[in-house]
């Protein structure tokens, strides 16, 4: 199995906002990156967005012009899982659907080198269950990045029931190579951050639903009263109301406590297709601009 310093080739699956941010980080850390997506338009958008983001960093003097251009060149777009056969580490950031992810892990297990580490960026799906779809459960781990990955300073590492100490240590050092701080969670619903964040967001919906205050006052209260960069309702729109609802359901089902039961207003917004910033309407309306990367 590759140690952190031996991780030279990284496969990233999914060219949405998370996958492209992860690819950018790995390329900037000197890795050869294979960015996989079946949708070639998504790959083009991701490369344009990564290039713009790295060039912005170079313009601000946070990266030399040469490193910026070298990082861009280190990213190769690919369209099949077979293209990842030489990766030392694969990080998937595809749709949050357990069956789809399990199918992908089965394929990855077949085609990647026996030494490769398989990581999931899942926000709430059990790493132990994903690992059980493979014949290498000791080399399957959660690497939970936060949106936007190039800016957020944290990676939450999730240890499945069978993840080995060596794999945890390698992924922790690799995450530090990406410039991130690391926290480690056991594999329980919502891990650490979403276990605490989502009930706060849900409570903000309850406050709105029961008429405690306006959405603006709820958000301003948490921004100015507790120094959060965004209020909880604005953050829910930024994350995606569908994602928040899905994590709450995982918490509710997995922990069996009614305190995680999703607020009916959140459920109704999702039913109505008000999914947040990515759809132009969530708790708040957003001006639709042509974005370079789709979530």
Binding residues for NAD(+): 14-19, 37, 96, 101, 123, 147, 278
Catalytic pick among 20, 71, 120, 123: 123
Among 20, 71, 123, 202, binds ligand 3HC (CB under 6 A): 123
Q: Which one of 43, 239, 250, 283 is in contact with ligand 3HC (CB under 6 A)?
A: 239
- Residues 162-181 vs ligand 3HC: string with x where CB under 6 A? --------------------
Among 23, 25, 88, 146, binds ligand 3HC (CB under 6 A): 146
Q: What distance in Å separates the CA atoms of residue 54 and residue 56, rounded to the nearest whole number?
A: 5
How far apart, in whole angstroms, are the C-alpha atoms of residue 123 and residue 121? 6
**Which residue has its beta carbon closest to ligand 3HC?**
123
Cβ distance 70 to 88 under 8 Å? no
**Taking the chain, what is the end-to-end CA distance rounded to the nearest angstrom?**
32
Residues 62 to 121 in contact with ligand 3HC, rule: CB under 6 A: none
Q: Binding to ligand 3HC by residue 243, rule CB under 6 A?
A: yes
Q: Are 25 and 105 in contact (CB under 8 A)?
A: no
Residue 194 touching ligand 3HC (CB under 6 A): yes
- Minimal distance, residue 257 CB to ligand 3HC, in Å: 20
How far is the CA of 181 from the CAs of 152, 162, 214, in angstroms? 10, 23, 36
Please provide the DSSP assignment of 73-117 as one string.
Answer: HTEEEE-SGGGGTT-SEEEE---S-HHHHHHHHHHHHHHS-TT-E
Of positions 148, 199, 221, 295, contacts ligand 3HC by CB under 6 A: 148
- For β-strands 9-13 and 32-36, DSSP reports them as parallel
**Given the complex with ligand 3HC, which of 116 and 127 has the nearer CB atom?**
127
H-helix or E-strand containing 235? helix 232-239
Q: Which is nearer to ligand 3HC, 85 or 129 (CB)?
A: 129
Respond yes or no: is residue 156 known to be catalytic: yes
């Amino acid at each position: 199995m590759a140690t952190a310093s031996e991780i030279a080739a990284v496969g990233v699956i999914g060219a949405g906002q998370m996958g492209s941010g992860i690819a950018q980080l790995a390329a900037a850390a000197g890795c050869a990156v294979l960015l996989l997506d079946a949708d070639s338009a998504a790959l083009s958008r991701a490369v344009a967005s990564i290039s713009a983001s790295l060039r912005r960093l170079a313009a601000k003097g946070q990266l030399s012009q040469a490193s910026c251009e070298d990082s861009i060149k280190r990213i190769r777009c690919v369209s099949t899982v077979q293209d990842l056969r030489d990766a030392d580490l694969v990080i998937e950031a595809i749709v949050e659907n357990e069956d789809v992810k399990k199918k992908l892990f089965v394929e990855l297990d077949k085609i990647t080198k026996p030494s490769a580490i398989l990581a999931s960026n899942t926000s709430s799906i059990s790493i132990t269950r994903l690992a059980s779809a493979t014949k290498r459960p000791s080399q399957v781990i959660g690497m939970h990045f936060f949106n936007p990955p190039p800016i957020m300073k944290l990676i939450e590492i999730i240890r499945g029931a069978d993840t080995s100490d060596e794999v945890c240590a390698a992924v922790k050092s690799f995450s530090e190579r990406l410039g991130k701080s690391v926290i480690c969670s056991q594999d329980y619903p919502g891990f650490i951050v979403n276990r605490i964040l989502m009930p706060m967001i849900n409570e903000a919906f309850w406050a709105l639903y029961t008429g405690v205050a306006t959405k603006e006052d709820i958000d301003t209260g948490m921004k100015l009263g507790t120094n959060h960069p965004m209020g909880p309702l604005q953050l829910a729109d930024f994350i995606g109301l569908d994602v928040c609802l899905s994590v709450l359901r995982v918490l509710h089902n997995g922990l069996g406590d009614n305190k995680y039961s999703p607020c009916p207003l959140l459920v109704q917004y999702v039913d109505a297709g008000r999914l947040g910033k990515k759809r132009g309407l969530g708790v708040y309306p957003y001006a639709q601009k042509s974005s370079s990367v789709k979530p």
